[in-house]
Amino acid sequence: MQTDRFRGINYSKEELTAELTASFLCAVAGIQQPTIQNAAAYIQGWLKALQNDKTLVFKAASQAQKAADYILNSTQA
């Protein structure tokens, strides 16, 4: 099994997806500044690490929305 080093491509994609998920959940919960500002800066950093993949943000956002929907549906049941 191949592992991904810290700040490798797979790790960066997972971190971007996780941070987007957290941001979506913060929006639903009404959590705002400074949490959102910190999240935006963190997301910006991961996007820089993945600048060669122009579709990455859309893929990560799609996965993040699915994760947020799963979490929200799990907590509402």
Residues 6+ apart with CB under 8 A from 25: 68, 71, 72
For 18-76, the pLDDT digits (tens) are 988 998 998 898 887 676 677 777 777 777 766 767 788 888 899 999 999 999 998 66
Alpha carbons 33 and 9: distance in angstroms, whole number: 29
Number of domains in the chain: 1
The reply to whether 26 falls in a domain is yes
The reply to whether 12 falls in a domain is no
The reply to whether 40 falls in a domain is yes
Residue 56: give the domain boundaries: 18-76
* Residue 40, amino acid: A
**Which two three-digit tokens encode residue 70?**
């799963």
* 9: number of Cβ within 10 Å: 14
CA angle 46, 60, 62 (to 5 degrees): 155
Residue recorded with tokens 């979506």: 24
The reply to whether 8 falls in a domain is no
Note the pTM of the prediction, 2 decimals: 0.72
